Amino acid sequence: MSPVHEPSVALTPAQRADLALLAPRQGNSVPTERADGELTLKALGLNDYELVAELHWDAELPILSRELAEWRYFRRNPGLVLVSGAFDAGGRLIGIYPATLRPARALGRDCLISEATHTVIHPDSRGGGRAYLALMRFHFERCDAMGVHFGYGGGANEAARKFGAWTMGIQTLLTLRTRERRLSIKMALGKHMGGVGRGLAGMFDPLSRGDLRSGEKGVEVTRVSDTDADFDDLWMRKRDDFVVLLRRDAREVRWRWLDCPVAATLITARRDGRLEGYAAMRHHEDNTSHAQITTVLDLFGGRDPKIVSALLRGAGWQAVAAGSDFLHVAPQAGGVAAGLVSGRRWRDARKHPEIVIVGATSRSAAEVGMKDAVEAALEGRNWHYCQGDSDFGD
């Protein structure tokens, strides 16, 4: 039992600073193992990867590569690991509740929050939801002991949302609906006219995307391959434009988009040489239509519509350069981006809305001065939230 997991490597100053964001009660220790009926709940580490991979195989689910698992759960801060597993009486791993601890800002206070990801229960153990509930309780117990007072998760299915609401007070934070801009008609014409149609598309496509080249006057959009102190300055200037949001300084943007083994494109917007915003996107193939799609996953420009517009145009041009047929954005309702993707060039994509859930993960928020921040975090209208704040292709 310890306040945090004891890492096998020395922590950097930035990683140690993360630990200072925890707000635990005095004398708390974090459970790493406990019994729940016939189940044994344990904290998992990277050395348990093969067991986790076997569980995914048995559940007929995609197996997260070891490289991705290390990046997401262990590399950012080895002193803050929050992956839990459930073992049956025979010692077999029958469920995992993995989470990533992320730095955030809520009501003007820096803190750590829990992002739930990739929960898996073995098919033989899903009846009644007992294993899932045991894992959730263990996760909440560990969050409470560590001083992590709220958590969220994207891509929740309806069954998980209802079960979480019934058992642990989980609630819907946001519903994201994807908007789509067509960048090329080559698929449509190629379907009916073959190579001739695709050739014609090459003639007509530029006429429909001239606005992407025009950009916003006085704003320079550039693709970048690293983050620097300008990202820290951007974060400090614009973080309090919103009540609740994940941290977006140089370190976090680099970890989320550039260190991730799944490649992303990062662009910046500058006015008079000063960084005013950035956007991250991925180019990928649609599983159903096989269309090439560019999805904007992170967009941070404060509440400046000119900067957000420049970033969306820049994302569109990056999509064209990548050969994408469509540009996708899932904006938060009421935000600046939502207004910019409501015009005639945009339409609703044929995608299911994404449900994002949120919940208080401790009983001690009031005791440590986090009550108001947690209450603010439970309201979707207070957030600056982007689709990439939860899992997307990684």
Q: What is the pLDDT of residues 148-195, one digit of tens each?
A: 999 999 988 787 788 888 888 999 999 999 999 999 766 554 454 544
CATH code at position 259: 3.40.630.30
For residue 66, being part of any structural domain is answered with yes
Do 51 and 97 sit in the same domain of this protein?
yes
CB 296 within 8 A of CB 221: no
CB 355 within 8 A of CB 349: no
pLDDT of residue 2: 41
Do 266 and 186 sit in the same domain of this protein?
yes
For residue 256, being part of any structural domain is answered with yes
Whose CA is closest to 223, among 330, 340, 336, 317?
Answer: 317
Determine the Cα–Cα distance for residues 60 and 131; give it in Å rounded to an integer: 18
Do 154 and 210 sit in the same domain of this protein?
no
For residue 158, being part of any structural domain is answered with yes
pLDDT of residue 66: 96
pLDDT of residue 159: 78
- What are the residues whose beta carbons fall under 8 Å from the beta carbon of 362, sequence distance 6 or more? 140, 143, 144, 147, 148, 149, 150
Do 187 and 73 sit in the same domain of this protein?
no
Determine the Cα–Cα distance for residues 210 and 76; give it in Å rounded to an integer: 41
> Beta partners for 285?
292
Do 37 and 130 sit in the same domain of this protein?
yes
Q: Look up tokens 């609703």; give the residue.
A: 348
Do 131 and 265 sit in the same domain of this protein?
no
Query: Taking the model in full, what pTM does it have?
Result: 0.92
- What are the residues whose beta carbons fall under 8 Å from the beta carbon of 59, sequence distance 6 or more? 120, 121, 122, 123
Do 153 and 214 sit in the same domain of this protein?
no
Whose CA is closest to 73, among 40, 44, 113?
Answer: 44
Considering the chain, what is the average pLDDT of its residues?
A: 90
- What are the residues whose beta carbons fall under 8 Å from the beta carbon of 57, sequence distance 6 or more? 63
Do 279 and 316 sit in the same domain of this protein?
yes
Do 122 and 75 sit in the same domain of this protein?
yes
> Beta partners for 299?
279
Do 244 and 127 sit in the same domain of this protein?
no
Whose CA is closest to 317, among 220, 202, 213, 179?
Answer: 213
Which residues of the chain are under the pLDDT cut of 70?
1-8, 185-210, 214
Do 110 and 196 sit in the same domain of this protein?
no
Q: Sign of torsion, CA 226 108 150 12? A: positive
Q: Would you call 91 helix, strand, or coil by DSSP? A: coil
Domain span holding position 129: 13-163
pLDDT of residue 331: 97
Number of domains within the chain? 2
For residue 332, being part of any structural domain is answered with yes
Name the helix (H) or strand (E) containing 235: helix 229-238
Residue 171 dihedral angles phi and psi, to the nearest 5°: -135, 160
- 168 C-beta neighbours (distance < 10 Å), count: 16
Do 150 and 282 sit in the same domain of this protein?
no
pLDDT of residue 203: 46
pLDDT of residue 190: 44
